[in-house]
Structure formats: C-alpha cells, structure tokens
Amino acid sequence: MATTDFERVPAVGSDADARDAGTIVLKFGGTSVGDPEKLKSVARRLVARREAGHRVVAVLSAMGKTTDDLLDLAAEVSPRPHPRELDMLVSVGERISCALAAMAIHDLGHEAISLTGSQAGIVTDTVHGKAKIVEVRARRIHEALDEGKIVLVAGFQGVSTSHEVTTLGRGGSDATAVALAAALGADHCEIYTDVRGVFTADPRVVPAARQLTRLSFDEMLEMASSGAGVMMARSVEVARSHNVKLHVRSTFEDAEGTWIQEEDQEMLEKALISGVVHQREETVYRVSGASRAQLFGALAEASVNVDTIVQTGEEIVFSAPVEDRDDAARTLDGLGLAWSSRDDLGKVSLVGAGMKSHPGVAAKTFATLEGAGIDAAVVSTSPIKIACHVPSTQVDRAVQALHEAFDLGSR
Ligand code: ADP
Ligand code: ASP
Ligand code: MG
C-alpha cells in the first residue's frame, strides 16, 4: 500500500501583512473566454466588481483550444520542440486573452492593464513546461490597483530565476490565480469555469453526478491529483499552504458553486465519499533490482511526477503521467535498470474525508469492480482515497459503477 505524499510548497512572497478584504482575484478558464462575446461578458463582470468597490485582479486562460492548437503547431514543425521555445510559444495564448479583455474594459469606460506572468512578478523555477512558482513580486500589480485599474494577468506562465519565460503545466492558470490571491492577501479566489462547481464525478462521464457544496483542501487535492481536471492539483496545494479558500463556480450563471476550504467537523461527519474521479491514462512501470532512494531521486531530478508507489519484495511498481513518459524512460535507461511499462491502464479513485473512520469502503470498491467484470491491476490507498488502476477502456464503466454503488448521485 502506498500513500500519496504531496510536495512542499515554497513560500509565496506576500506583500500583504493583513488580508485585504477589498482585493479580489478571479480566474476564467478557456471556455469562459472562448470567443469575443464571452470575453466581453467577462469584461462586464469585472467592471461590475470594480464598480462595487473592489480592487480587481483577473487571471485569464487562453481562448478555447488555443493552447492545444499552439502545441499542435509546434509538433508540426518539430518532433521534439526545444522546451524553452515551446514555452515562448504556448505562453502567447494567455496574453491574447488579457490584451483583448483590457480593450473590452476600456470600451466600458474603465481603466485596465494586461500583464504577462513576468510583468506580474510570477517568479518560477527553471523547469520548462511545468515550472513551479517560487515567489510572487506583486509590486506592479499593487501600483496598477492603486491607480484604480482592473489588472489582467496572463495565467499559466512566469519568468524563471534565470530570466526565461516558463509555463506552469496544463491547467496552470489555476496556480497563477491562487498564488496571486495568497500574495495579495485576498480572502478567497474565485475560479470561473464551464461547470457549476465540483461534482461527485466528471459530469461528462456521469450525467447524474451531484454538485458538492463544500470540500476540504485535502479532498480536493486528492481529487485533483487523481484526475478531476476541474482544478489543477498544484494550485490546490498552494491554496492549502496559504489557506486561500477557493470558490469554483460557473461563468455562465450566477449560482453558488463549490467552496474548498479547511476541513471542519461538519465535513467529517458528512459524506463518506465525496467523489469518484478518474484518469483515462496513466503509465505504470515495473522495475526490479533498483535502490529505492536512487530510483526516486533520479526520477525527481528529471521532474517526473510519480504518483502511486507499490513495493512488494524486489519489484517496485510506480505510476506517472503519460506526459512524463519520455523523461521516465530516459531516467530508467540511464540507471541501467531492467524495467517494463504498461500504457493501457487508467485509474479510478474514490475520495472522501469520511473514509478515515469508516471501514468497508475498500471491500465495497473491490466487490463493485469485480461485479462489473473489471480487474484492478494495481491498488493503492491514502487515508482518504482508494485508487485502482484498471484498463483505460473500462475507466468510464468503473466510474459509473462506483458512483452508483456508493449512491453518490442521490443524496
Ligand atoms: P477551465 O478551462 O475553466 O479551467 P477545465 O476544462 O480545466 O476548465 O475544467 C472543467 C472541466 O473539468 C469540466 O468541464 C468537467 O468536464 C471536468 N471535470 C472533471 N472532473 C470533474 C468533477 N469532479 N467536477 C466537475 N468537473 C469535472
Ligand atoms: N491554457 C493552459 C492550458 O490549456 C492553462 C490553463 O488553461 O489553465 O492548459
Ligand atoms: Mg482548468
């Protein structure tokens, strides 16, 4: 059995000693700024908040599928694009959204300024493609806010300690927004997206999934790192470390969304299971004869995000995202190890803080999967999660079966 250890989050340099109730940080995802009309409607929303007296900072994602299109473009030009140049390319998407939103705000008679991640003072480490924020130097944002401007920050990007443009990994605008909320002392961070909040399962897979009212940071972190794409996992880590509450809500309606905050007694007594999350693909490696410290040290060095680790006897089994496959393979070959991998597996995970004090969840999970004729190749747990690697082709069916068995849609 393995537990998931989350990385320590480096301190986000905070310019605000006290929480500044007047500053709000809002983040809009790709669908929310998907076309010019949607951008204009985001601009109207921001102006309304400014007129209500807030100091408004908005973090925008690239419009619609822009990031995917830019990545495809790079792949057409080069089979293995240079990481520095790839970051120069894909960071452009977010700049487009911010510049256009600033124009739309000007037309509404308000002052606005768009900033790149670098201009906004988002300082990262030097790992291209999945850089981590190490510091926020928010001086320029404060100056613009003091001048009454609405500040638009390009999400997903920063400037490295060696002065290069970096990007933060897929979904990285969430991390930008949460880090800014922490640095600016905002009470909470509003995440506007294309669903009404966090659901008991991906509503695209389980149409009957139920919207959750509240979740603890730990639950959301487990859900996000197990595949619930609605929030980037690392952004939840930053929120937890700096105690920034998150409000995940819809861009297209005004309804209350899902609050993610510190766990309280009420949450613990509440649900046994908060959700069933999935990942359609995750590579599972088998390595024998390796020194654990050397193996995981080398993988960390290569920035491979190892998830599950299981060891029985000589053999070590671990999983990592498909995107990290090349780096993992190079590392394992470099260590001269005998290894194999499976690329036909995905993962389904049950997450819930109530699990801590309720026996029998694992038994029911296995019985449900068995009943559905689904074989779990690897099983791992944490105090609030049970994760099963199952064939990718059976992931959706596994999610639906577990959602139904634990009666998650009907409470
Ligand atoms: P954005 O571009 O706004 O960041 P994302 O596509 O990154 O939006 O995240 C929103 C999507 O996350 C939803 O459309 C939904 O399909 C997916 N999703 C996956 N799991 C969940 C879940 N448990 N609850 C809500 N949405 C989920
Ligand atoms: N545009 C980036 C992506 O598609 C970052 C984000 O949307 O958060 O991953
Ligand atoms: Mg996202």
The per-residue pLDDT for range 294-335, each reduced to its tens digit, is: 999 999 999 999 999 998 888 999 999 999 999 999 999 999
The per-residue pLDDT for range 54-92, each reduced to its tens digit, is: 999 999 999 999 999 999 999 999 999 999 999 999 999
Going edge to edge, which strands form the sheet with 23-28?
112-115, 150-154, 55-60, 23-28, 188-193, 245-250, 258-261, 214-216
Q: How far apart are CA 19 and CA 58, in angstroms?
A: 18
The pLDDT assigned to 21 comes to 52
Assign 3-state DSSP to the chain and report helix, strand, coil percentages, each to 5: 35, 25, 40
Angle, CA of 16, 224 and 359, to the nearest 5°: 115
227 close to ligand 1 (CB < 6 Angstrom): no
- Give how far Cα 293 sits from Cα of 65, 170, 290, 297, Å: 40, 29, 9, 6
- Pocket residue to mutate for ligand 1, from 27, 67, 193, 396, most atoms within 8 A of Cβ: 193
257 close to ligand 1 (CB < 6 Angstrom): no
Nearest-CA neighbor of 99 among 157, 53, 33, 145?
A: 33
How many whole angstroms from 193 Cα to the centroid of ligand 3?
8
Q: How far apart are CA 372 and CA 357, in angstroms?
A: 27
How many whole angstroms from 196 Cα to the centroid of ligand 3?
13
The per-residue pLDDT for range 160-182, each reduced to its tens digit, is: 999 999 999 999 999 999 999 99
61 close to ligand 2 (CB < 6 Angstrom): yes
pTM of the model: 0.91
The pLDDT assigned to 4 comes to 37
Residue 108 CA, chain-centre distance (Å), reads 32
How many whole angstroms from 383 Cα to the centroid of ligand 1?
25
The per-residue pLDDT for range 237-296, each reduced to its tens digit, is: 999 999 999 999 999 999 999 999 998 766 655 678 999 999 999 999 999 988 999 999
158 close to ligand 2 (CB < 6 Angstrom): no
29 close to ligand 1 (CB < 6 Angstrom): yes
Q: Which ligand minimizes its atom distance to the CA of 67?
A: 2
Contact 9, 238 (CB under 8 A): yes
The mean pLDDT of 88-114, rounded to a whole number, is 98
Residues near ligand 3 ion, CB 5 Å cutoff = 29, 171
Nearest-CA neighbor of 154 among 115, 197, 124?
A: 115
114 close to ligand 1 (CB < 6 Angstrom): no
Contact 171, 179 (CB under 8 A): no
How many whole angstroms from 307 Cα to the centroid of ligand 3?
20
Helix or strand (DSSP H, E) at 40: helix 36-51
The pLDDT assigned to 360 comes to 87
- Cβ neighbors of 200 (< 8 A, separation 6 or more) are 206, 209, 210, 212, 273, 274, 275, 276, 403, 408, 409
